[in-house]
């Protein structure tokens, strides 16, 4: 899934990298509280009903920012994640991505 997406994301990733300031992982921890119910579970399944949720811990910050921008800007369609991302600023995304990257694999 990640491999398949790599091509589609590379353009977004490139522009995100150029524009991105380094995020603050501590600010990102607070901003990520709403994500933990789905993305914080060790088995990477949602609590109810069980469905697969992608692993965020240890992902590259650049990748996470590119994914969040794709949800926000409608390049990537997913009801829940579009709703999560629609009011995020670029700085929010950088902070959140820095937090998740720092969680390790």
Which residues would be at the binding site for ligand HEC (CB under 6 A)? 2, 32, 34-35, 37-39, 46, 53-54, 56, 64, 67-68, 76, 78, 80-81, 84, 96
CB 64 within 8 A of CB 78: no
Smallest gap from Cβ 74 to ligand HEC, in A, equals 12
Complex with ligand HEC: residue 27 or 35, whichever CB lies closer: 35
- Smallest gap from Cβ 18 to ligand HEC, in A, equals 19
Residue whose structure tokens are 């899934």: 1
Q: Which of 37, 33, 39 is nearest to 64 (CA)?
A: 39
Helices (H) and strands (E) in the chain, counts: 6, 0
């Amino acid at each position: 899934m990640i491999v398949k997406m790599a091509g589609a994301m590379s353009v977004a990733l490139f522009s995100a990298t150029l524009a991105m300031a380094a995020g603050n992982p501590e600010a990102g921890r607070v901003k990520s509280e709403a994500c933990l119910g789905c993305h914080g579970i060790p088995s990477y399944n949602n609590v109810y009903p069980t469905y697969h949720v992608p692993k965020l811990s240890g992902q590259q910050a650049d990748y996470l920012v590119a994914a969040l921008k794709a949800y926000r800007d409608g390049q990537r369609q997913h009801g829940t994640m579009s709703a999560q991302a629609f009011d995020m600023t670029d700085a929010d995304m950088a902070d959140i991505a820095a937090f998740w990257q720092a969680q390790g694999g």
